[in-house]
Chains A and B, each alone.
Chain A
Amino acid sequence: DVKVTQSSRYLVKRTGEKVFLECVQDMDHENMFWYRQDPGLGLRLIYFSYDVKMKEKGDIPEGYSVSREKKERFSLILESASTNQTSMYLCASSWVGTGVGSPLHFGNGTRLTVT
Chain B
Amino acid sequence: ILNVEQSPQSLHVQEGDSTNFTCSFPSSNFYALHWYRWETAKSPEALFVMTLNGDEKKKGRISATLNTKEGYSYLYIKGSQPEDSATYLCAFTYGGSQGNLIFGKGTKLSVKP
**Residues in chain A within 8 A of chain B (CB atoms):** 4, 31, 33, 35, 40-45, 48, 50, 56, 58, 90, 94, 99-109
Contacts and interface: CB of A to CB of B under 8 A. Distances in A.
Interface string B29-60: 00110101000001111100101000000000
B62 to A, nearest CB: 15
Contacts of B45: 106
Nearest to A9: B41
Interface of B: 4, 31-32, 34, 36, 42-46, 49, 51, 89, 91, 93, 96-99, 101-106
Given A101-B51, A106-B43, A42 B34 contact: no
B103 A42 contact: yes
Contact of A102 (B49, B91, B99, B103): B49
Contacts, number: 62
Contacts of B106: 42
A50 B96 CA distance: 13
Contacts of B101: 45, 104
Contact of B51 (A56, A94, A100, A108): A100
Given A42-B106, A100-B32, A103-B49, A56 B99 contact: yes
Contact of B99 (A40, A44, A48): A48
A12 B44 CA distance: 23
Given A42-B4, A42-B89, A104 B102 contact: no
Contacts of B44: 90, 104, 106
A48 B89 contact: no
> 10 tightest A-B contacts by CB?
A103-B46, A48-B99, A42-B103, A106-B43, A43-B103, A100-B32, A100-B31, A100-B93, A106-B44, A42-B105
Contacts of B31: 100
Contacts of A41: 105
